[in-house]
Amino acid sequence: MRENEGLTYAACGVDIDAAGRAVELIKEKVRDALRPEVLGDIGGFGGLFALDVSRYRQPVLVAGTDGVGTKLKVAMLMDRHDTIGIDAVAMCVNDILVQGAEPLFFLDYLAVGRLVPEKVAAIVGGVAEGCRRAGCALLGGETAEMPGFYGPEEYDLAGFAVGVVEKERLLTGAAIRPGDCLVGLPSSGLHSNGFSLARRVFLEAAGYRVDTYLEELGRTVGEEMLEPTRIYVRAVLPLLERFEVRGLAHITGGGITENLPRILPPGTQAVVRRGSWPVPPVFELIRRLGKVEEGEMFRTFNMGLGMVLVVPQEEADALVAFLAGQGEKAFIVGEVVSGERKVRYV
């Protein structure tokens, strides 16, 4: 810059023109992730959503927020950014689903060190795909270019979801009682939790790279770790209409060990039968390569179950059969008994 030349925002690392190009690239992707209740178009200061209150007697809004964690490091190492947005949506909508809520809309927050329009479009395209899978609208978002705070290739991604449920159908776990069955729905792999440990094992202890192909996985380490978090909305919502689901637990950070007790009423305990569901090979690899104790595995990773439902014993087989008819796998993985509020593995 010449001595008498004034500073500009672009000279400080923030490219407003690039931000404008990014918006143009994501417009169509956002329009593909809408619902009829959405008013207005992309570019407003706030997203508008006209809730049809005539469908509910006492609607309760359920909100959740989450990020993707250090899984982002894997996306950066692979320079692949089109699926990480699915994870951001999944972590939020799965959380509000466990209250019995139908996700209505989602907003994202993306902070980047350097705004590359095509990269932003790939990330937000993943967010839009996640919203389509969840049946909710991508109502809005924010992309912030923050040079000097993030490195040129670094970024962070967080999301916010809002859903609705009839007050009398709100799931709290209070109806759970001894004798109920635990039904597990398979995960797609690591989902978005435990990546600080998974990365340490694969990329440091084992010395692999993200492009290392492993026969046990049938793909590269990076491809396995980037597998998007499964979104359970379309599988679970119909169950709430047909069966007496007494509780739902999203198995995220803390694994089955920490998440299942969150929905158990006092005086009840979850007994989980090891071996009652197939555990994806990625977890055995982590255990073996990192010499990770079994207890640590179960309180860090989902171990192959991304969602656990609690249903009356007499409905468990019918629920599993119904899911099978929809092309969904499910496994009866344990039961609720009287005792201290915790998970006991047998």
DSSP of 12-72, one letter per residue? GT--HHHHHHHHHHHHHHHHTS--TTEES-TTSSS-EE---GGG-SSEEEEEEEEE-TTHH
| CATH number reported for the structural domain that contains residue 131 in this entry | 3.30.1330.10
**310 in Cβ contact with 177 (< 8 Å):** no
Other Cβ atoms closer than 10 A to 144: 15
Residue 331: CB atoms within 10 A of its CB come to: 18
- Residue at a domain's end among 144, 169, 194: 169
- CA dihedral (73, 74, 80, 82) positive or negative: negative
- Edge-to-edge strand order for the sheet containing 137-145? 59-67, 155-166, 102-112, 137-145
The parent domain of residue 135 ranges over 10-169
Below-50 pLDDT ranges, the chain: 1
Q: What is the pLDDT of residue 20?
A: 72
Are 266 and 298 within one domain? yes
Asked if 340 and 193 sit in the same domain, the reply is yes
Residues 186 and 81 grouped into a single domain: no
Q: According to the model, what pLDDT value does residue 30 have? A: 72
- For residue 46 the two structure tokens come to 């706030």
- Domain membership flag for residue 229: yes
Task: Dump pLDDT digits (tens) for 205-215.
Answer: 999 999 999 99
Q: For helices 71-78 and 84-97, what crossing angle results, to 10°? A: 160
Query: Is 329 found in the same domain as 201?
Result: yes
Supply the pLDDT for residue 31.
72
Task: Give the C-alpha separation, 63 to 103, whole Å.
Answer: 9
Torsion of CA 174, 324, 89, 115, to 10 degrees: 160
Contact status, residue 210 vs residue 220, Cβ threshold 8 Å: yes
Q: Show which of 147, 169, 191 is a domain's final residue.
A: 169
CB atoms within 10 A of CB 30: 22
Residues 98, 41 share a domain: yes
pLDDT digits (tens, 9 = 90+) for 140-187: 899 999 998 999 999 999 999 999 999 999 999 999 999 999 999 999
Same domain, 210 and 305: yes
Q: Clarify whether residues 139 and 228 are in a common domain.
A: no
Q: How many CB atoms lie within 10 A of CB 160?
A: 18
Q: 164 with 197, same domain?
A: no
Q: Are residues 159 and 198 in the same domain?
A: no
CATH number at residue 332: 3.90.650.10
- Residue 39 shares a structural domain with residue 73: yes
Q: Which residues of 226-264 are buried (b: 16+ CB within 10 A; e: fewer)?
A: bbbbbbbbebbeebbeebebbbbbbbbbbbbbbbbbebb
Residue 272, Cβ density class (10 Å: 0-12 exposed, 13-18 middle, ≥19 buried): buried
Asked if residue 190 and residue 161 are part of one domain, the reply reads no
- Domain boundary pick from 134, 169, 204: 169
Note the pLDDT tens digit of each residue in 55-75. Answer: 999 999 999 999 999 999 999
| Together in a domain, 163 and 188 | no
The model carries a pTM of 0.92
